[in-house]
Amino acid sequence: MNRPICIIGTGYVGMACMIGLAELGWTVHGYDISTDRIERLRHGQPPYREQGLQEALRHHVAHGRMHFFDSVAEAVRDTEIAIVAVGTPSHEDGSADVRALECVLAELSTIRFASWPTIVVRSTVPPGTCDRLAPLVERWGDLVYAPEFLREGSAVHDFLKPDRIIVGSRRPLIAVPYVRLFEALQKPVVFTSLCNAELVKGCSNAFLAMKITYANEVANLCDALGTHYDDVLRGMGYDPRIGSDFLRPGIGFGGPCFEKDVKSMRHTAIQLETSRELFSATLRVNERQPMRVIEALCAEIGSIEGAAIGVWGLAFKAGTDDIRHSLAVRIIEELAERGAVMTVYDPAVYVAPLPPGSRLVRSAVEATDADALVVLTDWPEFYGIDPFSFAHMLRRRVVIDGCNVLDARRIASAGLTYRGIGRPGTPSAAQLSYASAL
């Protein structure tokens, strides 16, 4: 019989890994430092919202394929493979904080495994980290680095449908037990060094962040030229060397990964005294991009001081309730600083710390009882809301669409002025009829 696989850390990465492996038929043991979380998981309650997650968790717990432990020693008992997926947040200077990972490895070194174990690091770490940590492990086990490429909102799906499997180790043979877990997926495997595997992860995320940033620069250029980005980026995306994925402009990239990973790559380059212009420029442009929404709002309504602003969207992207590093939160804070009060609606976020005076409401239309509306998360359902259902509520008749999810024409036909990112202002129907009367 196959031995169980242990997963240490039950955040997005760890949970997706547990469920994905259980779906592939493996028995999995989960451990987390939070005993509360373990208790909830035992009762089939996932630590975050994701479509299908709760059902999958309950199914695998009920069928005895998934077990949760509040002690590492018990969780790894009888296992030969332990996958470590603990958080590696950013320090102030952009370097990654790998202390949680070091603590787990130190704890594992005190445990007597049934046989020589393979320890797989899955947390994102800067290049060179695993080579530095390898001596800690090599006295009692093998160390492998296997990065993940999961998106929040589709993490289990991404786990089960990877484009490639990257494994780093000091010798290829060491990585074989880990790669065997994915035999059923029949995906290309890249065997490489620990450092190269770390670089694949960091450089991939930095590239995607840079690609989004590029799309934002193109959109900003379109704004300045008074033209629409849609055809420009669509036209570019058909070139397979460019591709249309991640070429969607907006308020910038948010979330717990991209900014942290680009900062970590830049920090590594600084440490090594090598060039980091693209990392720095990506971060700089992304810092500025949310201000585009505020500038567009100022251009339409004048002073922000004392304005009531309706906000659609708080999560860092559609399909998640995660507001960590959400640029929507940053924009709301900036608007509050300038004296505005916000009424916020997000289909998935029910609790959030908002600036004094601002509040969360339970319906999109309720949030439009305001001077102007800004859209800060790309929820597709916003597209489906009939502008005539709220046009009369918007006192200054202005909609700033930071995510380009609304239909500019329909908004204008309801008598509202529409501005997107890279989609210059659309005159409202009222303005149009005034113009035609002239």
Which positions lie near ligand UDX, rule CB under 6 A?
A: 148-152, 205, 208, 212, 246-248, 250, 253-255, 257-258, 316-317, 378
Active site residue 257: yes
Min separation Cβ 68 and ligand UDX, Å: 24
* Cβ neighbour number for residue 117 with a 10 Å cutoff: 22
C-beta separation of 422 from 229 below 8 A: yes
Min separation Cβ 125 and ligand UDX, Å: 13
Nearer to ligand UDX, 89 or 306 (CB): 89
Return the residue matching tokens 């379109």.
222
Min separation Cβ 154 and ligand UDX, Å: 8
Min separation Cβ 403 and ligand UDX, Å: 7
3-state secondary structure of 20: helix
> Catalytic one among 130, 222, 257, 403?
257
Nearer to ligand UDX, 121 or 394 (CB): 121
- The C-alpha angle with vertex 134 and arms to 131 and 140, in degrees rounded to 5, equals 165
* Cβ neighbour number for residue 315 with a 10 Å cutoff: 28
C-beta separation of 418 from 406 below 8 A: yes
Return the residue matching tokens 């499997």.
165
Provide the sign of the torsion angle of the four alpha carbons 312, 50, 149, 14, taken in this order. Answer: positive
Distance (Å, whole) CA 146 – CA 165: 8
Q: Which two tokens stand for residue 159?
A: 């786990």
Distance (Å, whole) CA 434 – CA 38: 63
Mention every residue, 6+ apart, whose C-beta is less than 8 A from residue 55: none
- Within 226-340, residue ranges assigned H as helices are 229-237, 258-271, 277-288, 290-301, 327-337
Distance (Å, whole) CA 182 – CA 36: 31
Nearer to ligand UDX, 259 or 300 (CB): 259
Nearer to ligand UDX, 233 or 414 (CB): 233
Nearer to ligand UDX, 69 or 214 (CB): 214
Nearer to ligand UDX, 127 or 254 (CB): 254
- Within 161-228, residue ranges assigned H as helices are 176-180, 194-225
Distance (Å, whole) CA 275 – CA 246: 25
Min separation Cβ 252 and ligand UDX, Å: 7
Nearer to ligand UDX, 247 or 301 (CB): 247
Q: How does DSSP classify residue 151?
A: P
Min separation Cβ 113 and ligand UDX, Å: 29
Nearer to ligand UDX, 253 or 382 (CB): 253
Q: Long-range contacts made by residues 21-25, C-beta under 8 angstroms, separation at least 24? A: 21/181, 22/56, 22/60, 22/65, 22/66, 23/56, 23/60, 23/156, 23/160, 24/160, 24/181, 24/182, 24/184, 24/185, 25/65, 25/184
Q: Helix 194-225 and helix 277-288: axis angle, to 10°? A: 50
Residues taking part in catalysis? 257
